Structure 1
Amino acid sequence: MRTIAVAAAVVGALALAGCGGGGSGSDGPLTVYSGREEELVAPLFEKFTDATGIDVEVRYGDSAELAATIAEEGSNSPADVFFAQDPGSLGAVDAQLEALPSETLDRVSARFRDAEGRWVGTSGRTRVLVYNTGQLSQDELPASVLQLTEPAWKNRVGIAPTNASFQAFVTAMRLSLGDEKTEAWLEGMKANDAKTYEKNTPIVEAVASGEIDVGLVNHYYLSLVKEEQPDAPIANHLFEAGDPGSLVSVAGAGVLSSSDQTEDAERFVEFLLSEEAQQFYVDEAEENEYPLVAGIDPPAGLVPLEEIHGPDVELTAFGAELSSTVELLRKTGWLS
């Protein structure tokens, strides 16, 4: 991921981008920029078209890079909806998103949506420490992510510093503990020779193979690896309440102010919060994510979201903090 260039492009382009008005008059297909992978969400687009008769054209890509594209395109963006992997990417272009209808926003807890109503969470995930059950028992695992800088964990931890979910976690640490403590933790992980990977799945695979003992990932990567390796000796560990390592984050969606199909775009976001779409994450999706609409139980085996207490931070703030997080990762040597 070209993270640093992307963050800079978003900041620069937003200063120049216009936010032209929109309506609902186009007869063409709805255009969605999706930072969610095609393998996961293509069935959702098909369900939406089947339910509404509205055709969808999808541009898939990395969420941060799509945010940069939206910022550069400004009021000329062909996108009607931005369906992003993380709140930081949505927040990076929130000036180009219109407020969603209150009846749509109210389907999701205020904890999982933009304070100004410009985007709403569509599914949730929590940060965890995946560990090798053949090498470690529960009582040997750290209570806090901060303990991973201790000598006992040298050469044993995997992270993905270029990945959006890791950067969201670092942002949460900055917001909850401050830049000084976060910088010290990043430097401590560097001194402890934490191993780097491009994405979360390779981290879980490395834990399963014994290459490393633990890794910082999103919870659902365990189930993805278990699909391919049912007997893999791996499990997830939640850090203590309030710890930045237990961040609960979301994927989400917003409607572009420049869209000429506002009504259809809003119908798409509304559909993502329908019982059918939310149940999809429980019954069909490969990624074992949390539905966010009340009344729909999470996949079997997951700790209910109301029992997970991450750091006291607002996801709304993540977009504005993205470039500072990237700069801190670069300063501490995790990004070039």
Structure 2
Amino acid sequence: MPSLRSMSAVLAAALLAVTTAACGSGSGEEPLTDDALVVYSGRNENLVAPVLKKLEAATGIDVQVRYGGSSELAAQLLEEGENTKADLFFSQDAGALGALGKADRLETLDPATTGKVLDGFADPQGHWVATSARARVVAYDPKQVPEAETWTTVDEVLDPKYKGKIGYAPSNASFQSFVTALRVTKGEAGAKKWLEDFKANEPKAYDNNILVLDAVDSGQVGLGLINHYYWYERVAEKGASAVNAKIRFLGSDDPGALVNVAGVGILKGSNQKPAATKAIDYLLSPEGQQYFADETAEYPVVEGVKSTKHDIVPLAELKRSSVDLNSLDSLEKTLALLDEVGLT
């Protein structure tokens, strides 16, 4: 039984909050229809609605979107089973896609589609393919923690000298994926010990990664655990000279060097498989990949596409965690561990 199926009370409440919206209107009032390509999107509407509109224009496909959290939508898709109206699942992270793949709810994609991306950015079984990638980084205040410039492991933040000087976003899906990577690499006991040591350093919790970066940039904390693109977006907005915070790519096989993905998979039983395949191919096209590279400061996953707005270290040059992205599907265990340690 897939791990996401039993997220009962919390997920049930979250599912009630999932809104339905047509891509073009954003009204949340239009019912999903069988003659449109229905996308369940765990990606934020503000981030991806523009590219989905571009997709409509480029392909001539009528797209309708239901937005929500990736894990909540994955749980809903497992409950809906073959009765779902969804044709395409657009996930914020690989874990939710992995859960659906393990539950045999995703079609096998055409190798011509999965073969478009860089090695390691498609499911080996062909159940899903990445559309963009993001790296975990350590944001740091060079005045308080200049030594972070040379770090290669996230374990450095456990040093007691950083007590009260670390920011993190416990409710953020990317932080939770990082903790899942901790569990995969260190084992359950090792991950629990890491989190207990982290808690002992009295980290400061923030609602999101933007606020974590704000805290580092203003000197409220010396360190922050975030994704790379928040910093690049800040630099693009204000200019490098106006941003005090720096970021460190750990550049090692370490949970803190996790490169997670947003990705897509086609739901089994979809009567829109050709349209869904066409949509995926658009997201992997030069135009689609350029959108992610420029507008969201994420990594394109197709070779040869570079951002025209952000000077980001190329994805192919990053040394990253070797964690199998499909193994990030055990979110339920991660949330239970965070709750047990008291970091929720």
Gaps of 5+ in 2: 13-32
Per-residue deviation, residues 250-307 of structure 1 (Å, max 9, x unmatched): 1000111131211111111111111110112233x1x211100112235642112222
Please name the residue that 2:153 is paired with.
Answer: 144
Could you say which residue in structure 1 is the equivalent of 2:37?
30
Residue of structure 2 equivalent to 1:82:
89
1:200 paired to 2:193 = no
- Determine if contact 1:126/1:218 at 8 Å carries over to the other structure: yes
Residue equivalent to 2:7: 8
> What's the TM-score, normalizing by structure 2?
0.85
TM-align CA RMSD: 2.3
Matches within 5 A, 1:154-233: 154-230=163-239, 231-233=242-244
Given the superposition, is the C-alpha separation of residues 6 and 158 from structure 1 closer, same or farther in structure 2, using an over 3 Å criterion? farther
Task: Give yes or no for contact 1:158–1:203 (8 Å, CA) kept in 2.
Answer: yes
CA shift for structure 1 position 311: 2.1
Who is 2:120 aligned against? 111
Kindly tell me the number of residue pairs found equivalent between the two proteins. Answer: 316
2-structure distance, mates of 1:229, 1:263: 43
Partner amino acid for 1:77?
Answer: T
Alignment of 1:237-256 (within 5 A): 237-256=248-267
Give the TM-score, by structure 1 length.
0.87
Please give the secondary structure, in 1, of the residue aligned with 2:7.
helix
Task: Return 292-301 or 86-95, whichever deviates more.
Answer: 292-301
Fraction of identical pairs, as percent: 42
In 2, Cα distance between equivalents of 1:102 and 1:315 = 19
Further displaced range: 110-119 or 220-229: 220-229
Task: Classify 1:74/1:5 alpha carbon distance in 2 versus 1 (closer, same or farther; 3 Å).
Answer: closer
Q: Residues 9 and 72 of structure 1 are in contact (CA less than 8 Å); yes or no, is this contact kept in structure 2?
A: no
Aligned partners of 2:167 and 2:205 also within 8 Å: yes
Q: Could you tell me whether the CA contact under 8 Å between 2:149 and 2:248 is conserved in 1?
A: no
Asked whether the 8 Å contact 2:151–2:248 carries over to 1, the reply is no
Q: Does 1:279 align with 2:278?
A: no
Moved over 6 A (4+): 4-7
Amino acid across the alignment from 2:128: W
Partner of 1:318: 328
- Between 1 and 2, higher relative CO (CA 8 Å, sep ≥ 6) is seen in 1
1:143 Cα deviation (Å)?
3.2
Using a 3 Å threshold, how does the CA distance of structure 1 residues 6 and 40 change in structure 2: closer, same or farther? farther
In 2, distance between residues paired with 1:109 and 1:52?
24
Structure 2 residue matching 1:212: 3-state secondary structure: coil
Could you tell me how far apart the structure 2 residues matched to 1:264 and 1:180 are? 46
For the 8 Å contact 1:176–1:312, the answer to whether it is kept is no
Match of 1:132 among 129, 141, 154: 141
Moved more, 296-305 or 96-105: 296-305
Structure 1 window deviating more from structure 2 (139-148 vs 107-116): it is 139-148
**Whole-Å Cα distance in 1 between the matches of residues 324 and 84 of structure 2?**
28
> In 2, are the aligned partners of 1:85 and 1:251 still within 8 Å (CA)?
yes
Change (3 A) 1:265 1:250: same
Residues 4 and 75 in structure 2, CA contact (< 8 A), matched pair in contact too: no
Q: Is residue 107–residue 293 contact of structure 1 (8 Å, CA) maintained in 2?
A: yes
Provide closer, same or farther for how the CA distance between residues 139 and 266 of structure 1 changes in structure 2, counting only shifts above 3 A: closer
> Structure 2 counterpart of 1:109, which letter?
L
Tell me by how many angstroms 1:140 deviates.
6.2
Deviation of 1:316 after TM superposition, in Å, equals: 1.7
Structure 2 equivalent of residue 17 of structure 1? none
SS where residue 96 of structure 1 aligns?
coil
Gaps of 5+ in 1: 14-25
The equivalences for 1:25-104 within 5 A come to 28-94=35-101, 95-104=104-113
Q: SS where residue 93 of structure 1 aligns?
A: helix
Alpha-carbon distance in 1 for matches of 2:85, 2:92: 20
**Correspondence for 2:272:** 261
Partner secondary structure for residue 111 of structure 1 = coil
Output one character per residue of 1:229-269: Cα deviation in whole Å (capped at 9) or x when no partner.
44131121112411211111110001111312111111111
Q: Do 1:142 and 1:239's aligned partners in 2 also have CA atoms closer than 8 Å?
A: yes
Q: Letter of the aligned partner of 1:290 in structure 2? A: Y
